[in-house]
Amino acid sequence: MSAPITFYDIGLRPPAAKNCCSPNPWKTRFALNFKALAHTTKWVALPDIVNLRTTLQVAPTRKFADGSDFFTLPIIEDASTGTTLGDSLDIAVYLQQTYPSAGDGDLFPDQPLDYAFDPAEGLLVPLSAVRDSPYPAYATFNVHVDGAFTAHTQLTTVGFPFDPANEAATKAIFVDRARPYMTAWEDFALRGDDRARMLASFEATLAPLAVLYGRDAAGPFLLGARASYADFIVGAWLRMFDVTLPAEEWQQVRGWHGGIFGRLHDGLQAYAEVK
């Protein structure tokens, strides 16, 4: 690979490298670092994502319930192959197929990924559909993990690190995405008993995932000491909750189910460098 990969991530409150916490870009960051591929991050303000994807001619891969396009990141440009992609799972598949032996090797080793989540209510943002994939178990796992965490993202709005330069515009986009469930930014606030109930729901939702992680007691990854893209899917969401939850709540999450998710989060720091 002659030139570094360009990796587009959502820029949040400066310093962006400290506060970046969008889960799908983090899946890509983990994968790039796992593969030890040279790359540079370009920070994109959330209100500028539509224009970026249009300029780069990267079609959105997700849609809202009304059929309208959902424009988000990550995107990578690999000048070595002339490839531009704009979906985190597609990017990981591309990295594995293009650079199979790079870094720590296989992103998609065979393993049981039998975790399922069926939301009782509509989600605030749309999930990626389970599309045809050379790694169908991972594609399905990705959707179910995304659903489990997305169902509880209202917990994170209290501490979301908005960039002051575009905070008002970004909040307006968040509200538009969440309609009809939310009509104003203030609607996202969770306090008192409502917050306690959602935290309890979050803990219960993660219980079957913790069982999956408990199959190899050595940990911290699903396959013990060996990380895979499945760990990056979960770890990307843990990164978001780490940055956005009040400190005492994040410590609770870290300690749930015998501390499995705290150990996973810590173990993934080996692949968490922001370049």
Task: Please name each of the domains of the chain with its CATH number.
Answer: 5-271 (3.40.30.10)
Q: Which residue reads 């509200």 in tokens?
A: 175
- What pLDDT, on a 0 to 100 scale, did the predictor assign at position 121? 60
Quick one: tokens of 16? Answer: 């962006």
Contacts by residues 241-249 (CB-CB < 8 Å, ≥ 24 positions apart): 241/149, 241/155, 241/156, 242/21, 243/19, 243/21, 243/159, 243/161, 244/21, 244/155, 244/156, 244/157, 244/158, 244/159, 244/160, 244/161, 245/155, 245/156, 245/158, 245/159, 246/158, 246/159, 249/155, 249/199
pLDDT(126) > 70 = no
Tell me 154's DSSP state.
G
Determine the average pLDDT of the residues in 133-147: 95
Q: Share the mean pLDDT of the chain.
A: 93
d(CA 186, CA 27) in angstroms, rounded, equals 29
Q: In which band, very low, low, confident or very high, does the pLDDT at 12 lie, cut at 50, 70 and 90?
A: very high
pLDDT(122) > 70 = no
187 - beta bridge partners?
Answer: none
* pTM for this entry: 0.95
- What pLDDT, on a 0 to 100 scale, did the predictor assign at position 19? 98
pLDDT(103) > 60 = yes
- What pLDDT, on a 0 to 100 scale, did the predictor assign at position 120? 61
pLDDT(47) > 70 = yes
pLDDT(63) > 70 = no
pLDDT(124) > 60 = no
pLDDT(194) > 90 = yes
Q: In which band, very low, low, confident or very high, does the pLDDT at 65 lie, cut at 50, 70 and 90?
A: low
Is 37 or 189 the better-scoring residue by pLDDT?
Answer: 37
